[in-house]
Chains A and B, each alone.
Chain A
Amino acid sequence: MSTQDDKAKEVSADGAAGPIILFFILGLAASLVLGWVIFPKLLYSQKKQPIDFNHVLHVEAVDEGCESCHFFREDGSFSGVPKLAQCVECHGDVQGENPNEIKFVNDYVANGREVPWLVYARQPDCVFFSHAAHVKKAEMECSTCHEHIGESEHSRVYEENRITGYSRDIWGKNISGLKSNTWDRMKMDDCAECHATKEIKTDVETLPWPLNWAPLPYEKQTGNQASIKTVKEACFVCHK
Chain B
Amino acid sequence: MGGRDQKIAKKLEKKIVKKGFPDVKISAEEGIVRLNGRVNLWSEVITIGYLAAKTKGVKGVINDVTAGEIERKGEEKKVTKRDVYDNVSLPKRADVVIVGGGVIGCFIAREISRYKLDVVLLEKESDVACGATKANSGMVHSGIGESSGTLKQKLNVKGNKMYDKVCEELNVPFERDGLLIVITTETLPPKVRKVLPPFISNFICEKIIPYVVFRKGKKAGIPLRPVKREELLEMEPNITDKAIVGVYSPTYGVVYPYEITIALAENAIQNGVKIALNTEVEDILVEDGKVKGVLTDRGTIESEYVINAAGIFADEVAEMAGAREFSIHPRKGSIIIFDKEMKGYINHSLSELILPQDPHTKGGGIFTTISGNPNWGPDAIEVSDKYDKSVTAEEIDTIFECGSLLPDFQKSSLITYFAGLRAATYEEDFFIKASENVLGFVNVAGIQSPGLAASPAIAEMVRGILREIGLKMGEKEEFNPIRRAIPKFSKLGIEEKKKLIKENPLYGNVICRCEHVTEGEVVDAIHRPLPATTVDAVKRRVRTGMGRCQGGFCGPKVARILARELNIPLEEVTKDGPGSNLFVGKTKSLLAEEA
Do A and B assemble together?
A: no
A residues whose Cβ falls under 8 Å from a Cβ of B = none
